[in-house]
């Protein structure tokens, strides 16, 4: 009897410690714009998975739904196993009895739906210099949006930045929904993504909003992205910046009050535009206007934290330029470094394969095999085989198998990757296609020509960077000389 009692007591604890396997089930987009009740499908999909599968693997996609009720089976597009929180199996395969199954069913909001529901937030003031001033300061996007589909999957980091942020922020929102005492638990649900330009911060924030809308679907059936145009909140007129900022935060508060059951992700790109250090602002031309704008942002953030259904995500290229009072309010500070070799290779791989899928680069596959397959003692040889589309090996496969073949295509691509070290992610992503336009002829080429063009594009980027640095250095020396002469 004691054993059974202990078992009953320990079972909930064991359940809470089990890894959470996250599964996303996408409902087809209806041509007539009908929004499907995803909550009605979720429970049946969960039960169907438990009854029909013993093991699920990360990345596994299910497109056959035999056994589901006909209406739901017809409505589903696919089921995808995305990740496992607190799971660290190298195989990525999890027995369903050993995990908590978290199924989220969602439907992408189409462009036609966005056009009917999306609105630009306008601030108007007729007192500025006697003229009407109307500025589009933000856009509101219903989530999950078809415009952001696939963005999350293009992001690549050496560390599990995406899963860490997604898990932490979704738990933060879930905790806040329990109406924690605001005097005891003091957080702002404010996240800062910072790092060098071109490292993918903006894409990460938009992708994060998309994924949060899916992950939080049980608690918030509707979600919206409120993306603020920070530059539009600046004004050449004295005192107007703070008024524009106040008006923007009032718009957000109105939205939160009108839609208490909607999850709102507020996104402010390059936040240093609004919250630059006030001690440095004192030396500017209009110090008090800049200080008022920072004060207005801080006041607005303090008001937003009263609402449990909102998070604020910001980016910055210059964390040292941010006001200390703002930084003190940030709950999560995530640094995004410049690209390393692995993500750079993956970007080039994806871009080149995409060009091949569209008939711009000829298809071919690569391998390293024994000269005599039946004799493992024989030497290795590099093999290229014609294929319908280009199939490049993974970065790890290149390091393991292709190093002995300096002229192999995967090795040449790896060389291009090492030559790209220090380039921004924005530059890396545009180079494969741009280089073909600039340094190759014809509408179709082989992969060797494409990589040669890519390396020429990389060299051109570095030349431009070097010339720009020399020009800046020359201007600095000239300015210093003139100052000393005076």
Contact by Cβ (8 Å): 191, 330: yes
Domain boundary (305, 335, 365) is at 335
Q: Are residues 284 and 163 located together in one domain of the fold? A: yes
Q: Are residues 357 and 272 in the same domain?
A: no
CA 400 to mean position of chain CA atoms:
30
Give CA angle at 297 (296, 301), nearest 5°: 120
Residues 6 or more apart whose CB falls under 8 angstroms from that of 27 comprise: 36, 38, 41, 75, 76, 77, 105, 106, 107
Based on the domain organization, do 261 and 313 belong to the same domain?
yes
Supply the range of the domain harboring residue 308: 112-122+133-335
pLDDT of residue 333: 97
Q: Which letter, b or e, does each residue of 415-434 get, where b requires 16 or more Cβ atoms within 10 Å of its Cβ?
A: ebbebbeebbbebbbebbbb
Instruction: Quote the CA–CA distance of 204 and 314 in Å, as a whole number.
Output: 11
Q: In terms of domains, do 355 and 311 share one?
A: no
475 located within any domain: no
The Cα 112–Cα 114 span in angstroms is 5
H or E stretch at 363: none
HSE-CB at 420 with a 13 A cutoff on CA atoms is 32
Q: Same domain for 91 and 59?
A: yes
- CATH number, domain containing residue 175: 3.40.50.300
pLDDT value of position 349: 98
In residues, how long is the chain? 486
In this structure, are 318 and 442 located in the same domain? no
Residues 270 and 174 in one domain: yes
Q: Is the C-alpha dihedral spanning 204, 206, 211, 213 positive or negative?
A: positive
Whole-number pLDDT of residue 31: 60
Q: Is 484 domain-assigned? A: no
Domain endpoint, select from 335, 351, 381: 335
| Position 172 in a domain | yes
The answer to whether position 9 is within a domain reads no
CA-closest candidate to residue 215, choices 180, 175, 169: 169
Task: Specify if 479 maps to a domain.
Answer: no
What's residue 458's pLDDT? 98
Position 377 scores a pLDDT of 84
For the chain, 486 residues long, the average pLDDT of each consecutive 10-residue run is 42 68 92 68 95 96 94 94 84 92 93 56 44 62 95 92 96 92 91 95 97 96 93 68 89 93 96 87 65 92 95 96 96 95 96 97 96 86 96 96 96 98 95 97 95 98 90 67 58
DSSP-derived letter for residue 308 is T
Residue 480, in any domain of the structure: no
Give the residue from 335, 370, 390 where a domain finishes: 335
**CATH number for the domain harbouring residue 79:** 3.10.330
Q: Please check whether residues 360 and 461 belong to one and the same domain.
A: yes
- pLDDT value at residue 378: 86
Identify the H or E element spanning 128: strand 120-128
Domain co-membership, 265 together with 313 = yes
If residue 248 lies in a helix (H) or strand (E), which one and from where to where?
helix 240-258
Same domain, 160 and 54: no
Instruction: Identify the pLDDT of residue 61.
Output: 97
Within a domain: 399: yes
| Residue 314 within any structural domain of the chain | yes
For residues 329 and 206, state if they share a domain: yes
- The total number of structural domains in the chain stands at 3
What pLDDT does 125 receive? 43
Dihedral pair phi/psi, residue 308, rounded to 5°: -80, -10
Task: Give the three-class secondary structure for 17.
Answer: helix
Residues 100 and 148 in one domain: no
């Amino acid at each position: 009897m004691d054993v059974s009692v202990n078992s009953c007591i320990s079972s909930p604890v064991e359940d809470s410690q089990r890894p959470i396997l996250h599964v996303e089930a996408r409902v087809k987009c209806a041509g007539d714009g009908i929004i499907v009740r995803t909550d009605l499908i979720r429970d049946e999909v969960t039960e169907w998975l438990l009854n029909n599968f013993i093991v699920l693997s990360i990345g596994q996609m299910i497109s056959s739904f035999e056994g589901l009720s006909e209406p739901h089976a017809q409505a589903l597009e696919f089921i995808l196993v995305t990740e496992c929180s607190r799971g660290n199996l190298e195989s990525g395969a999890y027995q369903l009895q050993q995990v908590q199954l978290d199924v989220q069913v969602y439907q992408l909001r189409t462009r036609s739906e966005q056009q009917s529901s999306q609105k630009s937030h306008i601030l108007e003031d007729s007192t500025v210099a006697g003229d009407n001033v109307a500025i589009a300061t933000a856009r509101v996007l219903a989530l999950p949006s078809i415009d952001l589909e696939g963005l999350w999957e293009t992001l690549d980091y050496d560390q599990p930045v995406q899963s860490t942020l997604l898990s932490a922020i979704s738990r933060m929102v879930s905790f806040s929904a329990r109406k924690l005492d605001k005097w005891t638990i003091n957080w702002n649900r404010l996240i800062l993504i910072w790092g060098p330009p071109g490292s993918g911060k903006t894409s990460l924030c938009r992708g994060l909003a998309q994924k949060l809308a899916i992950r939080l679907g049980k608690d918030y059936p509707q979600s919206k992205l409120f993306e603020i145009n920070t530059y539009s909140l600046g004004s050449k007129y004295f005192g107007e910046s703070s008024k524009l900022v106040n008006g923007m935060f009032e718009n957000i508060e109105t939205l939160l009050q009108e839609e208490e059951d909607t999850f709102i992700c507020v996104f402010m790109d390059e936040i240093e535009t609004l919250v630059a250090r006030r001690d440095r602002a004192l030396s500017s031309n209009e110090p008090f206007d800049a200080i008022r704008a920072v004060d207005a942002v801080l006041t607005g953030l303090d008001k937003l934290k009263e609402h449990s259904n909102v998070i604020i995500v910001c980016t910055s290229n210059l964390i040292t330029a941010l006001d200390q009072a703002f930084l003190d309010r940030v709950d999560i500070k995530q640094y995004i470094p410049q690209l390393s070799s692995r993500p750079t290779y993956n970007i080039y791989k994806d871009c080149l394969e995409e060009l091949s899928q569209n008939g711009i680069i000829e298809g071919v596959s690569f391998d390293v095999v024994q000269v005599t397959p039946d004799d493992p003692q024989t030497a290795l040889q590099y093999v290229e085989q014609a294929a319908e589309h280009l199939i490049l090996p993974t970065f790890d496969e290149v390091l393991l198998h292709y190093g002995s073949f300096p002229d192999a295509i995967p090795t040449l691509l790896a060389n291009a990757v090492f030559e790209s070290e220090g380039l921004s992610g924005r530059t890396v992503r545009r180079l494969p296609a741009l280089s073909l336009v600039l340094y190759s002829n014809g509408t179709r080429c082989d992969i060797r020509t494409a990589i040669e063009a890519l390396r020429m594009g990389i060299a051109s980027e570095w030349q431009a960077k070097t010339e720009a640095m020399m020009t800046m250095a020359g201007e600095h020396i000239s300015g210093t000389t003139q100052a000393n002469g005076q």
